[in-house]
Structure 1
Amino acid sequence: MISRVRGVTLACVLGATLASLTGCGTAQEPPAAHPAPSAPRAAIPPSSSPRPPTLAPGPGGLTPVFRNGPRTHGRTVALTFDADMTAGEGPRAAAGERFDNPRLIAALRALKVPATVFMTGRWAEQYPVQARSIGRDPLFEIANHSYSHYAFTGDCYDLPTLSQDRMRADVERAYTAFRRAGVPEPMPYFRFPGGCYDRLALKTLTSAGVTVVQWDVVSGDAFATDADAVARQVLEGVRPGSVVVMHCTTSAAPVTERAVRTVVPELRRRGFRFVKVSELIGDAAGR
């Protein structure tokens, strides 16, 4: 979700209206998928494929944070889409609220746009067929947006807050949900719910082996009703190596698909090439 970065990095404050996007329900933490491991082990599920590029740990060995690719490696841009669903939103989905956006995914396929989807484990549980389809399509890559979409810091857009001892388990539980949905190769990238994090959260996730992915272009698609305004905001912000944050949630971001249909041809006209986040990280890591 679009939000602010706290403590360690640049702030990205978007306004109080974003709080309602969380639909956070109860402040109770989700049940753990399994007991916390007694010894550190990687949260990333094992794979027979070469490991995707990641960044080296930050200062003090903290989990690394990626915001954009190199500005000098050509006119590349990564569109990212947060597939948000909070652990307490099951009743709303059962009542007919759509946390998915099949039309958006279909548009990306029709336009042949590579993209990275930051998915919550709860979203994958609610829409396993879609999660599997996205995860098996070489046009896309699925990355981790937590299981519960609960905050990893306090005071994060009214999201319920995870305790420190549940943070890593929540990340692991999302990977478990992806595997159960049939996603073969989820990426070792993580986006904090609300984009909110601090030094403690980065330290806690060090042993998970993930690279945190933020952004440098905010689309403003959350609760937007004007697709042209969203498109203008993206087009005004994109630079070579940019990471654009958008949403894959019909109820909370209803005009994203229409905005994408404007953004993609215009950026291509300007000479930009669309890539997944993994390519930008590979460029930054020198791979």
Structure 2
Amino acid sequence: MQISRRSMLIGSVASATSLTGCSSTSAARPSSRPSASPSTIPATRAATTHLVELRSREETVAKFDAMKPTYWGFDAPGVLTRFPTDGAGKDAVALTFDACGGHVLRYNAELIAALRKHEAKATLMIAMQWAQHNPTTFKELLADPLFEIGNHGTRHVPLSVSGRSAYGEPGTRNVGEVWDELAGNFEYQATTWGHRPRFMRSGTAFTDDVASRAADFAGQQLISFGTDGDAGATFPAEIVYQQVKVAPAGSIVIGHMNRPASGTAPGYDRAIPALKARGLTFVQLSEVL
């Protein structure tokens, strides 16, 4: 997708190293880890603080285009799966939910209702396609202080510099396309809604090590996960409950909010009280990173 290549303001990105999916055709996570026009709706929340400039496409390509990747998977260097458990992160977990692009652009209102009922903060990683398809819901979620909105990509594809695929989804083919994938959705959220996301999870959560470094350099902190809550919204409610209730402090937990006919909502509805009973609280990513 062609978008403006001008510099754009985004939330600052903390320098990080690795501390250790979502797909439109969801599949369980592998057991091993391989090497209405929205412009008519006004913004409802002020831009985030601590703003810096997104580096340009040209500068990002020039720095990384000659590099060859050596890793492909969920945990590329610099992609976060956990957060520090001191300060605001003490005895806390970060619930994150993907609103994926592709062919499944529905809304799990029951899940959001459960988060509100339990007053559980969460970071919602929203793809541009999903936001454009659900502008009224996006506006509502953006206005709710319980939620932080993140970037889940422009086309919702894996971040690769060589066109690698994950779950049958072809990834970006070079550094320029990596920049387009992160910057397109960022620009959409910034110009249409006045919101500048700090964090990004790639489509399927797969990333190679050159793409992860390029994304960080460009200005988006890539997020993966430490606890898989629903395997792309394929787990039944009981398994979601069992997975989420044992998440350790400091874990980034992944779930999905675009598949309402799944076990995700009832599973989290049971798991959140179980996490609270263990003395854990819930944080947005920007509170701990």
Question: Match for residue 33 of structure 2?
Answer: none
Q: Distance in 1 between matches of 2:107 and 2:192?
A: 15
Give the alignment's Cα RMSD to 1 decimal: 3.0
Distance 1:76 1:160, change over 3 A: same
Deviation at 1:205, TM superposition (A): 2.0
**Is the aligned partner of 1:82 residue 2:91?**
no
Deviation at 1:72, TM superposition (A): 4.7
Question: Match for residue 50 of structure 1?
Answer: 49
Deviation at 1:235, TM superposition (A): 1.7
Question: Match for residue 253 of structure 2?
Answer: 244
1:27-66 Cα shifts (integer Å, max 9, x gaps): xxxxxxxxxxxxxxxxxxxx7642289xxxxxx9998322
Question: Match for residue 214 of structure 1?
Answer: 224
Deviation at 1:71, TM superposition (A): 3.7
Q: Distance in 2 between matches of 1:19 and 1:258?
A: 21
Question: Match for residue 256 of structure 1?
Answer: 264
Question: Match for residue 178 of structure 2?
Answer: 167
Distance 1:68 1:103, change over 3 A: same
Question: Match for residue 284 of structure 1?
Answer: none
Unaligned runs of 5+ in 2: 1-16, 28-45, 53-62, 65-75
Q: TM-score scaled to structure 1, two decimals?
A: 0.70
Unaligned runs of 5+ in 1: 1-7, 23-46, 54-59, 90-96, 282-287
Q: Distance in 2 between matches of 1:117 and 1:220?
A: 15
1:210-267 Cα shifts (integer Å, max 9, x gaps): 111111111134343520111101223x11111100001125x611110111011111
The one-letter code sitting in structure 1 at the alignment partner of 2:189 is F
Question: Match for residue 20 of structure 1?
Answer: 25
Distance 1:229 1:63, change over 3 A: closer
1:136-186 Cα shifts (integer Å, max 9, x gaps): 11110111111111222303111022221222112111123324653x334
The one-letter code sitting in structure 1 at the alignment partner of 2:195 is E
Distance 1:249 1:104, change over 3 A: same
Q: TM-score scaled to structure 2, two decimals?
A: 0.70
The one-letter code sitting in structure 2 at the alignment partner of 1:271 is G
